[in-house]
Amino acid sequence: METRFAKTDFGRISYLTGGQGKNLILLHSLAVSAESWKPVFEPLASRFKVYAIDLPGHGDSDKPGKNYHIEDYTRSVFDFMDQLKIERAIVCGTSVGALIAVEMSVSDPARVERMILTGCPVRDPWERLDRLVFQSLSLDPQGSPRPVSLADLGGSFAHPTEELLHWFNQQRAKAGLWVKNMMIAIALYDAFPKFPRVKCPTLIVYGNKDPLAPKEKELLQRIKGSKSAVIPDAGHVTQMDQPQAFLKEVNPFWG
């Protein structure tokens, strides 16, 4: 595993890469970075050529000069693929990364071979706005993220620790205003019309302690032919909470 940078029309994109085989693109959740894939990176790299991307505004990638919608983040991933001459890839995304994967699969289906959606947000307009209001409480008056507490990590991680809390707050501080900006992008994105348009093989993964886990059946109905897995003793970021259980569920899906 090594860190590299790609120059794109969306700025410099940082990514972790390693392995050989089919291309696998990993997309992280809100406020963190490609580091969230480290617990499963090496096992995945034993089967695939892995690219874990820092989305624009996050990690060590450049911060955009304007506000981005989910469609903009999607185009940034396609541009990244173009720069590295990746014609087609398997895409695995967590939370907002899952929304970006969905948008990739419907805006340019030929480029997404198959897809894994972990902790995918399935929310109607009211739920999205309600969530945005709740999340805004974690921002200071200037819109920058405040440090969160162990209790605040309860929905995201099944077993928060001080070490995890320190890492998470560092990640949030690094993203800065782009935590707020991505929150807004998520609230503005209506995934409901997109789900039925997904045609590639899709695996839906939730942790049983993820507040979004009850949405599993609804997402299964909306994405025809999809399969699902619920990982015990895991929260929103399943690959960090239960890396071995995550791999056990996703490995049969690769084919």
Q: pLDDT tens, 61-117?
A: 999 989 999 999 999 999 999 999 999 999 999 999 999 999 999 999 999 999 999
CATH at 231: 3.40.50.1820
CA distance 190 to 84: 30
The stretches of 1-51 forming alpha helices (DSSP H) are 38-45
Is 143 inside a domain boundary?
A: no
Per-residue pLDDT for 201 more than 70? yes
Query: The domain containing residue 206 runs over which residues?
Result: 2-123+190-254
**What is the spatial distance between Cα 192 and Cα 126, in angstroms, rounded to a whole number?**
13
In the structure, what pLDDT confidence band is assigned to residue 255 with cuts at 50, 70 and 90? low
- Nearest CA-CA partner of 9 in 111, 89, 104, 78: 78
Token readout for 15 is: 């990514």
> What is the count of structural domains for the chain?
1
Structure confidence by residue, pLDDT tens digits, 155-173: 789 999 999 999 999 999 9
Q: Identify whether the C-beta of residue 87 lies closer than 8 Å to the C-beta of residue 108.
A: no
Residue 159 in domain: no
**Is position 60 within any domain?**
yes
Say how many C-beta atoms besides its own lie within 10 A of residue 63's C-beta. 13
What pLDDT, on the 0 to 100 scale, is given for residue 229? 94
* 86 is a domain residue: yes
Cα gap 170→105, rounded to integer Å: 32
C-alpha distances out from residue 46 to 17, 18, 91, Å:
12, 9, 17
Please give the model's pTM, rounded to 2 decimal places: 0.95
